[in-house]
Amino acid sequence: MGWLFSHPTRDALISELLANGETTNCTRTVLDHHLVGNVLWQVVKLVPKRDGVIRGVAAGETCTLIGCDLLDIHGGQWGHKSLNESSGPFYWSCPLHFLSRATHGINPVWREGVRRYHAAR
């Protein structure tokens, strides 16, 4: 997925990214978040409203995942690129305590990178 630039301020973008929400397919609740520079980490609970919305998760079941939003400004607009743990983002500043909270999209190689990052600090 590419970048989406749509907000006049960084704070407005972050507020929208941290907002809980509901669509016709899914409900989304942000359980925790942490901002490191221009990398916004989130632990997000998703509940699909029908089967097939999230692979391996039936309608009404809960899954929790780690999300990573890269933030940047271009042409006077703040934007983001959304990634999640399963895509193995090349960013390791995710808080260690987030790892135990995720139940879906777990990427062991990425998690080891997060642990090495924190051990080296």
| Residue range 9-39, pLDDT digits in tens | 999 999 999 999 999 999 999 999 999 999 9
Q: What is the pLDDT of residue 2?
A: 85
Contact 34, 95 (CB under 8 A): yes
Q: What is the pLDDT of residue 89?
A: 85
| Residue range 81-113, pLDDT digits in tens | 999 999 888 999 999 999 999 999 899 999 999
| Residue range 43-72, pLDDT digits in tens | 999 999 999 999 899 999 999 999 999 999
Q: What is the pLDDT of residue 1?
A: 60
Question: At 119, is the pLDDT very low, low, confident or very high (cuts 50, 70, 90)?
Answer: very high
d(CA 47, CA 23): 11
